[in-house]
A and B are shown apart, each in its own frame.
Chain A
């Protein structure tokens, strides 16, 4: 025979305080003292409302209302949500589900608005509890799984475990015991890992219930007693009453009727003291069943009739269906005298009985409670049998067998065993491993300790000293480097500007010297030749101007411009001189960078002051050589040489111009050396005939 059992699972998730009378008293005292309307007062009201939910929901509602008002006053969305949640909780304790849900819905909206995940999850769980008591286990589970997902995101182990327990309960009521037990063992594991005693106790309680369902009564009793012991310690009246009822259920199953009744009465007294309507209803129905079993029909009827309106009031369809089942059976079994006392005429016996059972079946189908349905069908079959309506009896019995099979087939039983074995194995293994590791670690530690103490003081000291020294060195070096870099950067910038200025000075120098050449040419030639010469000169000038814009050009480009310039001068002097430009094979002209126009002033000097004044043909040889990490640009002419040149033009004005190009070039080389930290230089050598200039530049590659 199935018995009703009520697993009140009041781990409402907002606050984890233990619901204790003592705590309520101390909270009330604090509240009386703290009259300022602030968050502290809110917290007190809120905790009180929460704690009252289990003891005195009417008082709880008053506190919740004040908390709500205060939170709104403070314009605190989260606290408003929390207040609404406790309000819902108290309504729930009073059995008013529609108001409860309204509170929870509003709270959920608020929490969602500010994305308070913990709040959202809590409300989902609480909604799950409401659905659970309305016997819509699918809805209950859906809500709790939503909450579970959020808690998993938050890595909130304790609450994940609570969700496991609650979901297990849903599965149990949906008659999927395998899943139910599975979730319970997962929860137990988590609770043990974090040492949550209350959680462990609740899980024990539920395991007790499960094992009772599987007819493993000694285990069931053991688990329930463990849970009871804990609940008594923590003075949780409602849970104690619940455990007493559960233990009574088991004793009843063991046919220890007297012991069972003792426990039921104890539970009922506790429940009545706290006005726990659900508990009271549950105790009544269970007692009704026991009394009917021992054929105390009068008492049985009283108990059952008392429970039914309570279940109707609370909307607990599952329990109501069970109560109707019991009532139907009772009507069928009771002697005529008892029936008459209950206002039922004996000929109406079967009709009334079947009516009650059918109403129960209808409810059970509605809430998909298969086990309750099966039990009702069994009863129905029995009634039809008594009525001698065997066809209908058989029909009901067939339906019953079908359902019974689906609840407890072999596979389900096997899976439960497996889960248990798996859990125990895991637990043992973890324990052994931890133990071993501890031993090894202790032994090793002991050996190490002595040595470490001795060494570490010496070692630590020297490390400290050394690191202080090293950090100082590094600090100094870094500080110096930074200072130096700032200075260098500044110098580089200055040099760069100077360099640019010098390069731009080269342009007027070149332009005016060119105009000299042109005017010299025009004075000696016809218009057409002069025009041709001019066009060529424009070309050279374009190229040289373009190059002078750049910091560096390739040696190839620089030499090309230089060669064009030489060709032009050669044209002007009617090929009075020949020239050659030789670049050593070791130099890649296209990949070597030089400052533009470094050589031009020296070539110009050779032509104007060396060769032009010479009788007969002249020659200019330009030779680019690689010397280590330098390139040496040698310009050799066979002109009249420096001495003679000086004498000849001592009276001539263009001495100035000649020195200008050279002066600029020397200045450029000085800055180049600063910039590149190189050893560029210009050296002049007097030859037996003519002059030799060596311009040494750093070898720079572009790639």
Chain B
């Protein structure tokens, strides 16, 4: 079973997921005050301006925190075995919720402060999910 998917129409996050189809990790910044806005919205969370620019991230960052899920009854996750959920701070200044992949044992191979790089997981619908692996 596939993971829960983002659902559309949802105008705030639609451009973000459109960009994932070509494996581009995007975020917004305010043209009025410079604030980085993430998750995507149609206004700046610092000044209320609606003049936001979409930018491409290099996809590199640092694990801010994480947990290794040992028990999830959801059918998409139940068979996975332990997996890591994390907040990653991208170098451009935004924080994303994601999974850490590409480690043999997430219970020992993931740590706060670890450098990671985006790793795209293509979905049936054509979008891709930005997961991260050790850089």
Q: Do A and B bind each other?
A: no
Q: Which residues of B contact A (CB under 8 A)?
A: none
